[in-house]
Amino acid sequence: MTDLTVRFSAVLLSASIVVPNLLCSASAEEISTRIVNASNFGAQADGRTLNTKEFQAAIDATPAGGVLQIDSGQYIVGTLKLKSDFELRLMAGAELLGSASIADYARDIVGAVEAPAFDECLIYAKDANNLKITGEGVINGRGTRESFPVNIDGKLADRPMLIRFVDCSNVTFTGITLRDAASWCTHMVNCDNLIFKNVTLDSRVNTNNDGFDLDGCKNVLFEDCKIHSGDDGICPKSTTGRIFENMVVRNCRITSHTSAFKCGTSSAGGFRNISITDCDFSDTRMGAIKLMIVDGGVLEGIRISNILMNNVEGPLFIRLGSRGRQYTAPTEQVYATDVKSEGAPVGVVRDIHISDIRATIVSDKPERCGIMISGVPGHFVEGVTLENIQISYPGGGTEDQANRVVPEHEARYPEAFFFGTLPAWGAYVRHARNIKFKNVSMDVRSPDAREDIVLVDVEDFVQH
């Protein structure tokens, strides 16, 4: 067990963490010799010159435990490949700008199994340990639709991510600003011991602008971060069969056009031991919190508390489905209604405790409102407790909506509004057992013909 792993174990139980410093034991003279400046390798800070070769030469020349320092200015680059025992430090006023040409992005890297159109990326690392990206500067993908359209000639076009690390450990992001990816912003695959502290992410210039996608990672901390994403804000995934586990998110502000926090959609291995506390998930469309297993994994040990949700469309979506994707080859997402299970057995969703939530639901789309907790026939969501919850809904539901039968959509891509308007204005629970609502207060601001709570195939429901 590494020293940092021990420290992360302590993080899950306390509010303290010690961020490793690659230079902490060096003398002043040693530190000066370990700081490399990109300008010394011919990098031009003019916002016009492509500097990929110059930056890569500077990275390769930085000694173990050293720092590549980027001074104020705008530097255009294509794919940069980082290495172990390395810090990329962007000083105030420094801005790394992604090239607007897809030809400047490397193809000889590990891609994205569930989004092969996003295989390229700006900053890349594979099998690297002790990596840091720090400073007051900006990494800007410049990923607008004009530079990186979603489709070309009717086919999905390549759009680079901003950052992808694969099989890395002891990774720290501190103080940095990440901006305007052409697709996902940050993609961590099978990485351990990740710290994101005081990071600002602002990416809403293209489709699929996820903030942080973390696939099969272990020991993850988000603290004091500000995330403004076009798609999912923080999104644990599990395509490799490796369980994503041991995550702490605290004191973060997330706004999103899609969801603030989402486990899934990809969920072959599953998610375990996740703690989210003292966060603001306001100004979020389509759903603030989504917890899902649809590809055969296990989701358990989820603790969420003290969350503010103002101006959101849906407060909570918990889904156990049977899509059954096995991720044996790169495959784009499928959103059709008439899909069949792809073969993996139905997984498990259990042991979820959510407390101290204050939410105001604002939407003119009734299919996006309401809590939904649903398994599939013969497979129950189990052991969910909602406690000390206050939610204000817009209301306005009709008699026809009150009598509506919700489709099962067992194998369909899991999105709450795909099920249509629910027959309950507050919470719809189906195929579930051992569900507790403790001090859950919900109201509507306009008259609503639907019931507040509707239960279908539910065992051991307790409300008090």
With a cut of 80, say whether residue 4 has pLDDT above it.
Answer: no
Q: How confident is the model at residue 3 (pLDDT cuts 50, 70, 90)?
A: very low
Q: How many domains does the chain have?
A: 2
Asked if the model's pLDDT at residue 12 lies above 70, the reply is no
Last residue of a domain, one of 201, 231, 261: 231
Q: Tell me the pLDDT band of 26, cut-offs 50, 70 and 90.
A: low
pLDDT of residue 32: 59
Do 139 and 57 fall within a single domain? yes
Residue 144 lies in a domain: yes
Residue 2 has pLDDT above 60, yes or no: no
Q: Predicted confidence band at 19 (pLDDT cuts at 50, 70, 90)?
A: very low
In this predicted structure, the answer to whether residue 363 has a pLDDT above a threshold of 80 is: yes
* Tens-place pLDDT, residues 202-221: 999 999 999 999 999 999 99
Q: What is the 3-state secondary structure (H, E, C) of the chain?
A: CCHHHHHHHHHCCCCCCCCCCCCCCCCHHHHHHHEEEHHHHCCCCEEEEECHHHHHHHHHHCCCCEEEEECCEEEEECCEECCCCEEEEECCCEEEEECCCHHHCCCCCCCCCCCHHHCCEEEEEECCEEEEEEECCEEECCCCCCCCCCEECCEECCCCEEEEEECCEEEEEECCEEECCCCCCEEEECCEEEEEECCEEEECCCCCCCCEEEECCEEEEEECCEEEECCCCEEEEECCCCCEEEEEEECCEEEECCCCEEECCCECCEEEEEEEEEEECCCECCCCEEEEECCCCEEEEEEEEEEEEEEECCCEEEEECCCCCCCCCCCCCCCCCCCCCCCCCCCEEEEEEEEEEEEEECCCCHHHCCEEEECECCECEEEEEEEEEEEEECCCCCHHHHCCCCCCCCCCCCCHHHHCCCCEEEEEEEEEEEEEEEEEEEEECCCCCCEEEEEEEEEEEEEC
Reported as a pLDDT band with limits 50, 70 and 90, residue 29 is: low
Q: Residue 430 — very low, low, confident or very high, per pLDDT cuts 50/70/90?
A: very high
Looking at 210, 231, 252, the residue that finishes a domain is: 231
Per-residue pLDDT reduced to its tens digit, 238-283: 998 899 999 999 999 999 999 999 998 999 999 999 999 999 999 9
Going by pLDDT thresholds of 50, 70 and 90, the confidence category of residue 30 is low
- Does 222 lie in the same domain as 244? no
Please tell me whether residues 147 and 205 are part of one structural domain. yes
Lowest-pLDDT choice from 30-39, 82-91, 235-244: 30-39
What percent of the chain clears pLDDT 90, i.e. is strictly above it? 83
- Shared domain for 174 and 258, answered yes or no, is no
Query: Does residue 2 fall inside a structural domain?
Result: no
- The domain of 426 spans 238-464
Regarding whether 435 and 308 lie in a shared domain, the answer is yes
Average pLDDT of the chain is 92
pLDDT of residue 33: 64
CATH number, domain containing residue 253:
2.160.20.10
Q: What is the pLDDT of residue 104?
A: 98
Residue 14 lies in a domain: no
pTM metric for this prediction? 0.93
Share above pLDDT 70 across residues of the chain, in percent, rounded to a whole number:
93
Same domain flag for 355 and 403: yes
Indicate if the pLDDT at residue 231 is higher than 60.
yes
| pLDDT computed for residue 15 by the predictor | 38
pLDDT tens sequence across 293-346: 999 999 999 999 999 999 999 999 999 999 999 888 888 888 888 888 988 999
Confidence of residue 8 (pLDDT cuts 50, 70, 90): very low
Q: Are residues 287 and 212 in the same domain?
A: no
Q: Judge if 219 and 246 occupy the same domain.
A: no
Give the mean pLDDT of 35-61.
Answer: 97
pLDDT at position 27, please? 54
- Are residue 383 and residue 428 in the same domain, yes or no? yes
